[in-house]
Amino acid sequence: MAELLNLTGLVLSAMPVGDYDKRVVVLTKERGKITAFARNARRQNSGLLAAANPFCFGTFSFYEGRSAYTMVQGEVQNYFRDLASSVGAYYGFYFLELADYYARENNDEKELLKLLYVSLRALTKEELDKELIQRIYEWKTIVLSGEYPQMFACTECGSESDLSAFVLKRNGIFCQKCSIHYSSRIPLMESTIYALQYVLSSPVEKLYSFALSEEVRTQFFDVVEHLKNKYIGKQFKSLEILESIRNY
């Protein structure tokens, strides 16, 4: 008989299969992203009725099969109910979809799981700027993927002083002297550069501890949008829905 695995994770997605089952994708601390079938999870008396749903974080028990896992039990520590009943849910679904895009099976995804959990927690706090949370989450996800531009020195000359712009054409930060040769530069205030560097280098637990002035916020968003298009380049259905709601 297969060994029962107890894994800590967060359910990224769930879809119905057959009459009563679900197919779930879970981002776990121990085994990265896994796909599992939750048998009878849609029956009213099922022990998985609540656990086999997006946003559920806790400890889940699985049997491992050849091509998929079978979820047999879930001890949920956080359902994110406050998130599910607010506009933050639309941000949350996008965060889940972005994590699903980056996560890999049998890969060390502890930091991505931590980032996702902390970011969902941030969305539940009414006093925090949800669009800023989104941009911080996007930027830090890119950083955790290991593919991102130099942010602490000029891309052209290597100088660490007088940094003043992000050059779209070269996809990097530039000093004042070097940036003047590029029309595609985005002038950046010192505070904007510091915010980009802070998110890049800070531990996940400290990401959502600052606010930005309107001008710095606009610059920060512009750079992250470029980075997202450069390094991710995928259209997310959840983001399209989120943007349509914001525009409305």
Q: What is the pLDDT of residue 177?
A: 96
User: Does residue 189 sit in helix, strand or coil?
Assistant: coil
Q: C-alpha 106: how far from its chain's center?
A: 19
Q: What is the pLDDT of residue 77?
A: 96
Q: What is the pLDDT of residue 82?
A: 84
Q: What is the pLDDT of residue 36?
A: 96
The reply to whether 69 and 109 lie within a common domain is no
Contact 60, 7 (CB under 8 A): yes
- What domain range includes position 230? 88-154+158-247
CATH number at residue 30: 2.40.50.140
Residue 171, judged by CB atoms within 10 A of its CB (0-12, 13-18, 19+), counts as middle
State both tokens at 68: 């998929």
- pTM exceeds 0.85: yes
Q: What is the pLDDT of residue 224?
A: 97
User: Does residue 217 sit in helix, strand or coil?
Assistant: helix
Q: How many residues does the chain have?
A: 248
The reply to whether 57 and 138 lie within a common domain is no
The reply to whether 104 and 195 lie within a common domain is yes
Domain end point (choices 60, 79, 98): 79
The reply to whether 75 and 117 lie within a common domain is no
**pLDDT < 50 stretches in the chain:** 1
Residues 6+ apart with CB under 8 A from 70: 36, 37, 38, 39, 62, 63
The reply to whether 134 and 199 lie within a common domain is yes
State both tokens at 212: 């930005």
The reply to whether 96 and 214 lie within a common domain is yes
The reply to whether 46 and 125 lie within a common domain is no
The total number of structural domains that make up the chain: 2
Q: What is the pLDDT of residue 132?
A: 98
